Amino acid sequence: MTAITIGQAVVLGIVEGVTEFLPVSSTGHLKITEGLMGVNVDDAAVVGFSAVIQVGAIAASLLYLAKDIARIVRAWGRGLVNRNERYHHDYKFAWWVIFSTIPIVVVGLAAKPLIDGPLASLWVVAGSLIVGSGVMWAADQMGRHKRGEDDTSLKDTMWVGCSQILALLFPGFSRSGATMSTGLILDLERVAATRLSFFLGIPALTGAGVYELKDAVGTGTGVVPLAVGTLVSFVVAYFSIDWLLKFVAKHSFNSFVIYRIVVGVLLFGMLGMGVFG
């Protein structure tokens, strides 16, 4: 018996694809969905499955941002061999993404027993959804939304990169929500903050997926459900990214704030009534 069936893999792939880049917590929604389907959210295979199918969503972001990523990689390559190219913003940005990923890698490895253990609780998810909503609302109100992508600095990327740790330790807080909120506090425009969140998520989430692959396959999930969930998350995430960028260009984050509070309160209620056993 596999920990995840093909049907469940399709559902979880859809949930992952829709929520990975929206500031609503993909991890939280996956855990809620798994709980409603009767899947053991603490099972190592299930935790691994959730991390691996994120790679599908990351692949979607790579495809969607392919031109930008190619431009940045080319600038980085030129800068490695030509000193004069090192003043180019794209060259520096490539290094900033690398530097900004180090903190979450270090914390992720050091705190893995806590992340996979007590912090994986649905109670933590519910609380983090609500607390994260307050942070997001405050950030959107505080931010002056005046700085674009070309105005970003190493300090900006380091702050945004480190904010990913909040979502790592508190599932439900949302990696996208934490990074976008930090970008807004730093006065980035909403689209700039969202795109920066995408770029910083690529190495962090890809690394997490590769690291968890052994648990997802080795403990009984099965290759077919993994492949199905990853493919579904890829397709759904591509359209989710496109929708999100168009949405934040014209709207505030208030809709996400309200949604997160509603989900958090409902989850507290379901936990209190023993819906998840």
pLDDT at 4 over 90: no
Q: What is the per-residue pLDDT for 121?
A: 87
Give pLDDT, residue 28. Answer: 87
Predicted pLDDT of residue 114: 87
pLDDT of residue 247: 97
Cβ-count burial 36-75 (b if 16+ within 10 Å, e if not): eeebebebbbbbbbbbbbbbbbbbbbeebbeeebeebeeb
In 3D, which of 273, 208, 215, 257 has the Cα closest to residue 25? 257
- Name the residue among 71, 64, 129 with its Cα closest to residue 259: 129
DSSP letters of the chain?
--SS-HHHHHHHHHHHHHHTTTTT-HHHHHHHHHHHTT--TT-HHHHHHHHHHHHHHHHHHHHHTHHHHHHHHHHHHHHHH-GGGGGSHHHHHHHHHHHHHHHHHHHHHHTHHHHHTGGG-HHHHHHHHHHHHHHHHHHHHH----B-GGG--HHHHHHHHHHHHHHHHSTTS-HHHHHHHHHHHTTB-HHHHHHHHHHHHHHHHHHHHHHHHHHHHHTT--HHHHHHHHHHHHHHHHHHHHHHHHHHTT--SHHHHHHHHHHHHHHHHHHHTTTT-
Look at residue 96 in the predicted model and tell me its pLDDT.
96
Segment 54-62 shows an average pLDDT of 92
Q: Is the pLDDT of residue 148 over 80?
A: yes
The predicted pLDDT at position 205 comes to 84
What radius of gyration do the chain's Cα atoms show? 18
Q: Does residue 221 or residue 5 have the better pLDDT?
A: 5
What pLDDT is attached to residue 257?
Answer: 97
What gap in Å lies between CA 249 and CA 254, rounded to an integer? Answer: 13
Mean pLDDT of 229-237: 97
> What are the tens digits of pLDDT across the range 156-178?
999 999 999 999 999 899 999 99
Residue 204 pLDDT class (50, 70, 90 cuts): confident
Query: Which of these ranges, 2-6, 75-79, 189-193, 258-262, has the smallest mean pLDDT?
Result: 2-6
Q: Is the model more confident about 223 or about 234?
A: 234
Query: pLDDT at position 246, please?
Result: 96
Which residue ranges make up each domain of the chain? 6-272
Mean pLDDT of 12-39: 92
pTM: 0.91
Q: Between the CA atoms of 15, 110, 211 and 193, what dihedral angle is there, to the nearest 10 degrees?
A: 50
Percent of the chain with pLDDT over 70: 95
**How far is it between the farthest Cα atoms of the chain?**
64
